Structure 1
Amino acid sequence: MTRATGKGWWTRYGEVLDERARDLAELESATVAFRSFEWLHVPGLLQTPDYMREIFAGRNPEVSTVLIDKYIEFRLRRQQVLTEEPLPHYHAVVHEAAFHMHFVSRKTMRGQLQYLVEAAQFPNVTVQLLPFKAGSYPAIAGAPFTIHDQEAPQLATVYVEQPLNPLFLGDRFHIDQFGTDFARMSSVSLAPLNPTEAHEESSFGLVQHLRYVL
């Protein structure tokens, strides 16, 4: 990373997106393993274009369709990090609440659930759902976050989503704290999303239930 120029595909979005969004894309490009927790939305790297469009439009109702198209293009390009060699490992824990929010239409959410099942079949992707019945919230942090593990452990970074400005934390205290939180949430989440495990106490079982109730 110290030899990197800081220039990549993300630089061409300089007139559309702020520096933090471009910093995130650069960070993702060097990440060898992701540990991500979301409780209001499906993680960005696993979102469908329809889901993105409705989220962006709802969050910024006055933004033009042209600009939203650029946002979607940028996020879809970010998603390629999961399919480019060398494949990073991506482990996401998504709270059940994210699928009950009415931020998108039922049709869009059904399509999003189907894509989650498909993405979870990638050899480097693990998706777990944290159900309401898991009981007490097992983490200290109250915001969605992603731990970006780097080839050099000392360069690990936590990206914390905030309403105004996201945070990039690189000190060992926060890396360990968020790592412990993620491990706790993973331990109380349902078994990883796998169509061969459709029983009630599995992430796929919950997805099947959500498809029925949506």
Structure 2
Amino acid sequence: MPIGNRIYRIATNEWPRAPETGQTADDHKEVGMGLRTNPTQRQRRLGIELRRLRLAAGLSVGAAAAHADLGPAHLGHIEAARTAIPEAKLRALAAAYGCRSEPLVDALVAMGQATGKGWWSEYKTSQGSHTLDLAELESSAKSCRSFQWLYVPGLLQTPEYVRALITGGEPDAEPALLERYIEFRLRRQHVLTESGLPFHAVIHEAALHMQFVSPDIMRRQIQHLVQLARLPQVRIQILPFKANVHPPRFSMPFVLFEGPVPELGTVYVEQPVTPPFICEPSQFAQFSDSFDRFSAVALDPIDLDLEPELHAKRDSLGLIRHLMYNL
């Protein structure tokens, strides 16, 4: 397997995005264009939500399509994210489904009208599709909550920490591809420093003991966490080894993205096999409950504005200082 492909699996859990090609279907002539062969997560999510609303209304594809003057095959392609849907037809479907939540309908319309273009677009030839989808999701999320137990969360990593993480797992990686990935990771971090994305991280103490980076790199990484904690919208907690909490119900790290409305929350699960995005509201609620449980037993957040005497209570800053002393 080429090194370039192997590093995609290590760094992004995904193969490179396939070329944007289309194909014409006989049963889809009313669209007048080729069908998508590689839809984005946003496009797939729109189709998932429209199908969920249709099923909740108890309508068949044919019956629902008739309400919006669509052919059944056309609606099938919309639900499968193979083609777009005009605003008027989306609103007609929502009305037929009995969806009375204007914020939800407006959010679905916005998803359908989004171009998907952003700073990440220039990386289409060097990044996996899931990584590009993640960048787009971060750019549109209302807030983000991350649980990590082996690594520092990606949005909080220093360049040298990223480099050590990737090169340690793939020492023969192509240098140009490696540099491109590091550049992409650092661009993603602008959502914290420029866009002001509200970000809450619970990091297990184990992540700060991992020795795939040198003590000097880890020390600077910890210092970077403290600096980022100064941002008003960033909240960082350390979950210590001694915390009275059962092992994670979900054994993999995960990130919770709050959508424009509660129904559109998304879980990003860091694992290498199945698609990493979870859109089912009940599953989002399960991950959210787990995050809240971890946060409740984690140490108080890093807060440099507290009076010195208030740090007498064991908190995340105190543990971090102890760890740095022992590096």
Above 0.5 in TM-score? yes
> TM-score interval w.r.t. the shorter chain?
over 0.9
For residue 242 of structure 2, give the secondary structure of its aligned residue in structure 1.
Answer: helix
Does 2:241 align with 1:132?
Answer: yes
Q: Any stretches of 5+ residues in structure 2 without a counterpart?
A: 1-110
Structure with max Cα Rg: 2
Q: Which moved further from structure 2: 131-140 or 104-113? A: 131-140
Bigger fraction of residues in helix:
2
1:1-214 equivalences in 2 (<5 Å):
1-85=111-195, 87-137=196-246, 139-164=248-273, 167-195=276-304, 196=306, 198-199=311-312, 201-214=314-327
Provide the alpha-carbon RMSD of the alignment: 1.4
Q: Distance in 2 between matches of 1:22 and 1:137?
A: 34
Q: Is the 8 A contact 1:138 1:184 kept in 2?
A: no
Q: Distance in 1 between matches of 2:181 and 2:246?
A: 32
Q: Secondary structure at the match of 1:209?
A: helix
Number of residue pairs matched by the alignment: 213
CA drift of 1:64 comes to: 2.0
TM-score by length of 2: 0.63
Distance in 1 separating the partners of 2:276 and 2:217: 29
Helix, strand or coil for the counterpart of 2:257?
strand
Deviation at 1:199, TM superposition (A): 3.4
Displacement of 1:44: 0.2
In 2, Cα distance between equivalents of 1:155 and 1:128:
26
- Aligned-pair identity (%): 48
Question: Quick check: which one's strand share is greater?
Answer: 1
Shift of residue 200, structure 1, vs aligned partner: 5.5
Q: What secondary structure is seen at the aligned counterpart in 2 of 1:137?
A: coil
| CA positional deviation for 1:93 | 0.1
Query: Runs of at least 4 residues of structure 1 off by over 3 A?
Result: 163-166, 196-200
Q: SS state of the match for residue 134, structure 1?
A: coil
Question: Greater relative contact order: 1 or 2 (C-alpha under 8 angstroms, separation 6 or more)?
Answer: 1
Distance 1:116 1:168 in 2: 26
